[in-house]
Amino acid sequence: MKTVSRDFLKESGIIFQINRHILHPLGFCISAEGDTLVVEDHSDENPAGLKFSDQEFERGSALFLEYMREYGLRRMKLRVEKFGFIVQGEMAGMKK
């Protein structure tokens, strides 16, 4: 196992996606402070959750799209081949 840097997570758009899909709707966000990542709780002042500015959204989307085109899609394909899914349990609630 190897570790990944805070810079990699930011520059690949992965933090953007974690914030956008999971944390922002709950009122939380991951932010970079110095050499560390911090999870901030904004749920009291923003009960409806957080939202990126248009500029932040465009930048984060572009970074993640570039990462996915260069590396991520290949990994997703391997995951489907090995496990039969990308996100574990994603369809479980939709089956009859």
- Within-domain flag for 36: yes
- Within-domain flag for 89: no
Domain that holds residue 40: 6-81
- Within-domain flag for 50: yes
- Within-domain flag for 27: yes
Question: What's the pTM?
Answer: 0.84
- Within-domain flag for 1: no
Is residue 39 within 8 A of residue 30, CB to CB? The reply is yes
Which tens digits make up the pLDDT trace of 68-88?
Answer: 999 999 999 999 999 999 998
pLDDT tier at 29, thresholds 50, 70, 90: very high
- Within-domain flag for 30: yes
- Within-domain flag for 21: yes
The residues near 68 (Cβ < 8 Å, ≥ 6 apart) are 76
Of 22, 19, 28, 2, nearest to 63 (Cα)? 19
- Within-domain flag for 10: yes
Q: How many domains does the chain have?
A: 1
